[in-house]
Structure 1
Amino acid sequence: MSLSHRPIGQGLIHSTFRRFLDSETSAGMLLMIVALLAIVTANSPLASVYFATLHLSIGPMSLQHWINDALMALFFLLVGLEIKREVLDGQLSSWSRRILPGAAAVGGMVVPALIYGAFNQGDFTAAHGWAIPTATDIAFALGVLSLAGPRVPVTLKVFLAALAIIDDLGAVVIIALFYASDMNYWALGGAAVAFFTLIAMNRAGVSRLAPYLVLGAALWGLVFLSGIHATIAGVLLALTIPLKLTRGTPGAPHAVSPLHRLEHSLQVPVAFLIVPLFGFANAGVSLVDVTLDSLSEPVTLGVGLGLAAGKLIGVLGAVVLTVRAGFAKLPGAASGPQMLGIALLCGIGFTMSLFVGQLAFEDPAIQDRAKLGILIGSSVSGVAGYLVLRFSSRRTGIPI
């Protein structure tokens, strides 16, 4: 998967990253509105219509499954493209840039999983949801971050985006390894053939997107049949899209790449259609039967505290240890209190947490407990993170 470091290409990459930050911020604001709308709808006279529509059969799957298994494959395709671009020629292209967000991402996944496990260790079924609080929703987090205004340095926005990208990579690996159903090895073998064919196309210098997308659709079908969650096909396809920068036509001499073209094409529909649709289809939880006892359910507590407390402890703790050990420095112009605010925002786990919750549990009642924990933990993290960032200064506070 070749790569060019020409200045014109670097400019394209940097502008793409800025567009990514801008689009994710706007998408995060939309996602907040959609999540609230889903909750209101699920607790209104339209609740029966809402749930019946989601379970409407369309061919071999329900509408909700088409959204979660098919449309979300495009979300994971975009995630994979972002991961590949940032690792090969972006904010994560060197070890010096990876150390701090990488350590923070690992800490932010391990501690929430341990907290969840502590609350659910006696229940094998509930324990299967250990990965739910390990995810960070980059769109939601950047949306809240934007509310704090220009007082937050751009370096912290880049740090949060890099951390969330590594976090997404961890979530993809977890889904592939721990949330596969009964395996169909013939389909898995066919998926492997399709994947290695895509790699061969990359190595052969094929730069047209159409062949990759056609074979990628076949890869999705084979992965779907294999027992591995079909959205993983999106990530696998992304890894094979060429990042080699090629010279444009005489009338459009700018450097382009298949990866950048596809990423640019996907950003708007994924951020403003697919993810909000997923959020609306999955965030709706009935609050009619919610009591103090239901709030103290192990699954709800494990998810809620895993996000609100586990992410804070894991991310901030990893940052403090890494900085004090001399392996990395805080992002430029950032203070300790601002890093505290960023660690709190990492507890917003909306999209990916809801997705993992759907994979972890088949029982709708347990899914609702997990959703409740996600909504509470994400809300607490978002409000607390915003307040800390809103009233902190980049010049004051005890340095880490």
Structure 2
Amino acid sequence: MRRSVLTFLKTEAGGGALLALAAMAALIVANSAAGPLYAAILKTPLTLDLGVWTVESTVKDWVKDGLMAVFFYVVGLELKRELTLGELSDPKTVLLPVAAAFGGVVMPVVVYSLLAGSVDPRGWPVPVATDIAFALAALAVLAPGIDTRVRLFLLTLAVVDDLMAIVLIGVLFTHGLAVLPLLIAVALLAVTFILSRRTPLPVWVYPLVGVVTWGLAKEAGVHTSVMAVAAAMVVPSTAVGRSTRLEQLEHALHPLSAYAVLPVFAFCAAGVSFAGLDPAQMLGGVSAGVALGLALGKPVGVGLTTLLVARLARTPLPFSVGHLVSVGCLCGIGFTMSLFIGGLAFSGDEAAESAARLGVLGGSVLSLLLAAVAFRIGRRSVR
């Protein structure tokens, strides 16, 4: 199990660097002479016509609802592994990071609501999620020799954090529900789950089921990210030969998600044009609410909740308070997940979506800088 966790961390850290480059490239292109072409390509309609079923979406929406379904399928596999084989399977080690995740969701919402809730309450779920790839990449750069318990705490916290973000997506962004396609999808997942417990199914069956349920989710009005996670949850974690179907799929798809899907999404989602931008937009409203929700709400929520639960449960911290503060700051790097939720929350409102994206980028960068300062202070106090 430890080897799979270390492999996961290395892949996320490497993918995080590529993710940063893709985001920087998007900002450069969006603010260059190629900016209008960049915006036009994202709005270009593409049609999938299978005869009996047709879907038409823009390039940006295909990336958000189609390509990102691969990312959420991998997230679902990681959740299943953590729940059955990893840190989340042990109640003794899971208490503090789960509590920290809850605090790290509630406090950003409070901060956003105070700053921008009356301006635009649609954005309150935007600063709740942590970008695992960015956070782990930053940890690897800022504190390469840090205690493994800090890495595992951050990983577990971020996994639970993203799980809660997925629940929010399902609750807040599911509209006009069509019952029949949803029932068919649920039945297909149930049949797959039952059959996989009776006999080992070929590994390719599970992604195929995921593709079919993706299409049913589009028809049902359920967001595809939620259905992708549900499809991953039916993959068994019992051994087949030397490995499990869960491990086989995760090892095959995780590099695809980290090195292709997320960078493409970052390039499509992070391109904010600064042309005609009023500085007041950066200091108030949605942008400020999202930015400070991430940079302030996350570390305060994670830190205070962890310390409170540790005291009430009489559970010692696995590392220093300084490291807890540093981890809280890293959790403010919302980037991928926050951009994704922002696109859902402000869909159809380009001005508000741009403000949210600006807040996500600013809050994530500020969180990274605060984490760097916290780690530096922590190292000095140890000396």
Q: Equivalent of 2:354, from 351, 362, 368?
A: 368
1:58 is matched with: 46
Aligned twin of 2:142: 148
Question: Which of 340, 346, 351 is residue 325 of structure 2 equivalent to?
Answer: 340
Distance 2:315 2:37 in 1: 53
Secondary structure at 1:180 match in 2: coil
Aligned residue among 114, 117, 128 for 2:122: 128
1:299-325 per-position Cα deviation (integer Å, ceiling 9, x unaligned)? 111101100110011001111112222
**Partner of residue 211 from structure 1, selected from 199, 205, 210:** 205
Give SS of 1:163's match.
Answer: helix
Contact 1:137–1:346 (Cα < 8 Å) also in 2: yes
Task: Note if contact 1:116-1:302 (Cα within 8 Å) is conserved in structure 2.
Answer: yes
Distance 2:252 2:110 in 1: 39
CA shift, 1:150, in A, is 3.3
Cα offset, 1:267, TM superposition: 1.1
Scaled by the length of structure 1, the TM-score of the pair is 0.90
In 1, Cα distance between equivalents of 2:316 and 2:89: 17
Deviation at 1:91, TM superposition (A): 1.4
Rounded to whole Å, the distance in 2 between the matches of 1:72 and 1:261 is 20
1:198 matched residue in structure 2: 192
> Which sections of structure 1, spanning at least 5 residues, go unmatched?
1-12, 248-254
2:116–2:284 Cα contact (<8 Å) kept:
no
Q: Secondary structure of 2:204's partner?
A: helix
Return the match for 1:96 from 72, 92, 97: 92
Identity value in percent: 35
The aligned counterpart of 2:78 is 82
Q: Give TM-score scaled by structure 2 length.
A: 0.94
Q: Match for residue 231 of structure 1?
A: 225
What is the Cα deviation at residue 266 of structure 1? 0.6
**For residue 338 of structure 1, what is the amino acid of its counterpart?**
H
AA of the residue aligned to 2:336: T
Q: Secondary structure at the match of 1:58?
A: strand
Contact persistence 2:200–2:240 (CA under 8 A): no
| Corresponding residue for residue 26 of structure 1 | 14
Per the alignment, residue 7 of structure 1 pairs with none
Work out whether residues 194 and 215 of structure 1, in 8 Å CA contact, stay in contact via their aligned partners in 2.
yes
Unaligned runs of 5+ in 2: 48-55
Aligned to 2:50: none
How far 1:246 moved relative to its partner?
A: 2.5
For the pair 1:381 / 2:377, whether they are aligned, the reply is no
Q: Does 1:47 align with 2:10?
A: no
Distance 1:322 1:393 in 2: 26
Q: 1:333-368, CA deviations, whole angstroms, 9 ceiling, x for partnerless residues?
A: x32212211111110000000010111112011000
CA–CA separation in structure 2 for the residues paired with 1:121 and 1:214: 41
Preserved CA contact (<8 Å) 1:99 1:328: no
User: Which shifted more, 373-382 or 224-233?
Assistant: 224-233
1:391 Cα deviation (Å)? 4.0
- Counterpart in 1 of 2:157? 163
Which of 102, 105, 119 pairs up with 1:106? 102
Residue 265 of structure 1 corresponds to which residue in structure 2?
Answer: 252
Query: What code does the residue aligned with 2:71 have?
Result: F
**What whole-Å deviation, never above 9, does each CA across 1:5-62 have from its counterpart, x for those lacking one?**
xxxxxxxx32111100011111111111111111111101110111111111110111
Deviation at 1:63, TM superposition (A): 1.2
Q: Secondary structure at the match of 1:61?
A: strand
CA-to-aligned-CA distance 1:117-162 (integer Å, 9 cap, x gap) = 2233334xx2122110000001101111111243421210111011
Aligned residues: 374
2:335 to 350, 368, 381: 350
8 Å Cα contact 1:315-1:343 kept in structure 2: yes
1:85/1:288 Cα in 2 relative to 1: closer, same or farther (>3 Å)? same
